Structure 1
Amino acid sequence: MIVEVLQLLVSPAHRLAGRPADGPAAGPEDERVQRVEVRRGLGLVGDRYYGRPAHRNAAVTLMSAENLPVDIAPSVDLRHTRRNVLLKGVDIDSYVGATVSLDCGQGPVVFRVNRPARPCAWMDVTVGPGAHRAMRDGGGVRCTPLSDGVLAVGEARFEVVEGASA
């Protein structure tokens, strides 16, 4: 199926640590990029979780734009949710347990969709009050990249390689 990669976020620093009441840590105002290199088993080049053993099964987070709480914050995007890839046209949350590929025109990049990316109390701070609850069943998914490749903003082909289908 054809989907759209709306945004990509690569953050070199973990900005949501500590207590939400203290606010996010300082960092670049906008960490969104137009293109990112993906490395098998490591994640997104330049991202805070790249190559970290504790995050190998959750190095990349994919989220469906349709699940953004726009009723709470009309301009909400990856800068607020801290996910890596924002997709339009696929309910990515329904693919937990599957292996999927995204081809942005430079060859498929394969991901194992391991588990939901559960929203935390930070969402009420970065997005707005009520976002934590609103995103409970649509906060995206945590994935392991199974191939090297490139993701880019724009049209992409999404395919289930194996596993559950929605």
Structure 2
Amino acid sequence: MSTLKDLMSRYARPGRVAWIGLRPQRHAPVVVVEQAGVTQAGLEGDRGRAGKRAVTLIQGEHLPAIASLAGLEAVAPETLRRNIVVSGLNLTAFRNGRLAIGEALIEITTPCAPCSQMEAALGPGGYNAMRGHGGWCASVIRPGRIRVGDEVVPVADTGSGGG
């Protein structure tokens, strides 16, 4: 019989980086890239900040849900202004957990709430369409390079104090 801890440590397969975007300035258009360097302050070229919100991620499988709730056919990742779209791995299951993405290691810290810009970006009700689907913020444990197509793999915290 499996314990809850055992069940929570399992996943069907690694996830994948489906998309990467940089937000050079507040309200500036998102720049879509195939790869990016990850530093303690977030993605190189992004306006991220060191700490719990250095990198933002969103579940690729949530994009159709957000579109549906907003009454749209589809939503492009850049509209939602997150840094990384991850597909194939339930990010919610790894809150306060670590994920290896390419050469980088991040720690999921807190939900990424939608901002008021979503009402303009998605139309009336856009803010509420994103609630519960806004993604996650993460801190950077180990800088490195990430690329579209890289695996996203949960990593056990060894308790060595992090980085």
Report the TM-score range of the alignment, normalised by the length of the smaller protein: 0.7 to 0.9
Q: How far has the Cα of 1:130 moved from its partner?
A: 2.2
* Aligned-residue offset at 1:56: 2.2
Unaligned runs of at least 5 residues, structure 2: 1-12, 159-163
CA distance 1:145–1:136, shift in 2 (3 Å): same
One-letter amino acid matched to 1:91: N
SS at match of 1:144: strand
SS at match of 2:57: strand
Residue 121 of structure 2 is aligned to residue 126 of structure 1:
yes
More helix per residue: 2
Q: Give the % identical residues.
A: 27
RMSD between aligned residues: 1.9
TM-score (normalizing by structure 2): 0.77
Residue 36 of structure 1: aligned partner: 36
Q: TM-score with structure 1 length normalisation? A: 0.76
Q: SS of 1:154's equivalent?
A: coil
Q: Superposed, which structure 2 residues align to 1:142-161 within 5 Å?
A: 142-161=137-156
Shift of the alpha carbon at 1:155? Answer: 4.4
Q: Which runs of 5+ in 1 are unaligned?
A: 16-26
Aligned length: 142
Residue 94 to residue 130, structure 1, CA distance change in 2 (3 Å): farther
Q: Does the CA-based 8 Å contact 2:55-2:140 persist in structure 1?
A: yes
Query: Where does 1:38-117 land on structure 2 (aligned, <5 Å)?
Result: 38-39=38-39, 41-49=40-48, 52=49, 55-68=50-63, 69-71=66-68, 72=70, 73-103=72-102, 107=103, 109-117=104-112
Q: Is the Cα contact below 8 Å between 2:111 and 2:135 reproduced in 1?
A: yes
Deviation sequence 1:13-65 (CA, Å, 0-9, x none): 111xxxxxxxxxxx44x5110100011x221111112xx4xx52201001101
